[in-house]
Amino acid sequence: MKLNDVGQPTLDMFAAAVAAAAGAWPLVGSGDKLGVDEAAVNAMRSSLKTADFGGIVVIGEGEKDEAPMLFNGELVGAGMRPEWDIAVDPIDGTALAAEGVEGAVSVIAAAERGKMLDCKDVYYMKKLVTDAAGIGVCDIDMTPTENIIALAAAKEIAVTDLRVAVINKERNRDVIAEVEASGATWVSFDEGDVAMAVAAATGDSGIDMLIGVGGCPEGIVTACAVQILGGHMQGRLAPSNPDELERALDAGYDLEKKLELNDMVWGERFIFVLTGVTDGLLVRGIREGDDGLEVQTFLLDSDLDEGHILDVRVELED
């Protein structure tokens, strides 16, 4: 697949993700988490400012990250009528990038205008993600053990061969304990919610399932990829403190509702772009060459080859 085979919105989103990754690269390993994020945000926003499409940032840096740019509601594109809902995470895994360890990526995703859940008042979401084998088999209302047994049976593998990703946070301690007690392998990670969830939906990444509470914005970004991949995803909003709970209730969110994939993003057209900053499951990180930077991208577009995975390498000037 060549870059000239993709449409202009996809090409512009690809350019924005690559710009964010490359913009952050000089600070990778510096220990400066805020600097990494700021550099990526500035580069992605600058790229999107001249993009040949119109969009509205529905899932942005937002209040959680005290972001002055790429905020929820910001218009992007070169003054064109907004036809896209945009979800961005200029660096998913800022601490990982700052420390120079695996798993940091730049992400942008899109759905048709008005077809992306706006959940800006809730920062966390309980999630369940698998590939297509989990459809009609796994359910977020089942226990981790029940889901693990069901998915292993659907895949016709032993429970002990199942690899289950759960972000290593205190809020998931009971889930982690149950995964380990089931006999499945717990895949631990500290950041990088999007890449790990998308890996669970691909079917051939070495991750069979993602469960537990992670970022809500990251969940909506992930949903765009899962739509294209034909995977299985469910969620439930999970306010983390009384203030967030109050704001969620004031905004009218149904906190009991089991969110199906089509409740998170819906419609006919989806785009998802994930560019590596440091090495990860889906892409390798940036490499420095004599002529600039070599950047690897995982690109999904529902209009391309029925949503097959695309792997793109580019070189950037310093």
Give me the residue spans of the domains in the chain.
Answer: 3-114+269-316, 124-264
Site of tokens 């937002």 = 62
Phi, psi of 45 (to 5 degrees): -65, -40
Read off the pLDDT band of 233 (50, 70, 90): very high
Q: Give tens-digit pLDDT for 22-55.
A: 999 999 999 999 999 999 999 999 999 999 999 9
Give alpha helix (H) positions in 156-241: 173-182, 193-202, 216-229
Q: What is the pLDDT of residue 318?
A: 43
Res 240: pLDDT: 86
Q: Quick one: which of 57, 45, 52 has its CA closest to 90? A: 45
Instruction: Give residue 94's pLDDT.
Output: 95
Provide the 10 A C-beta neighbour count for residue 4: 6
Residue 54's identity, in one-letter code, is G
Q: Which fold has domain 3-114+269-316?
A: Fructose-1,6-Bisphosphatase; Chain A, domain 1 (3.30.540)
Average pLDDT, stretch 6-13? Answer: 88
Q: How many CB atoms lie within 10 A of CB 227?
A: 26
pTM: 0.93
pLDDT average, residue stretch 55-79: 77
Rounded to a whole number of angstroms, the distance between the first and last alpha carbons of the chain is 25
Which pLDDT value is given to residue 289? Answer: 79
At 71 the pLDDT is 85
Q: How many CA atoms lie within 13 A of 240 on its CB side?
A: 15
Cα separation, 82 vs 176, whole angstroms: 42
Distance from C-alpha of 102 to C-alpha of 22, rounded to nearest angstrom: 16
Mean pLDDT of the 7-19 span: 92
Residue 2 Rama label (left phi>0; alpha psi -120 to 50; beta): beta
Burial 53-69 (b: 16+ CB within 10 A, else e): bbbbbbbbbbeebebeb
Residue 51 half-sphere exposure toward CB, CA atoms < 13 A: 31
pLDDT the model gives residue 241: 87
Q: What is the pLDDT of residues 136-184, one digit of tens each?
A: 999 999 999 999 999 999 999 999 999 999 999 999 999 999 999 999 9
**Where in the chain does DSSP place strands (E)?**
55-59, 75-76, 84-92, 105-112, 124-130, 163-167, 185-189, 209-215, 232-237, 259-260, 270-276, 287-289, 292-301, 310-316
Select from 225, 317, 303 the least CA-distant residue to 269.
303
Q: Which fold has domain 124-264?
A: D-Maltodextrin-Binding Protein; domain 2 (3.40.190)
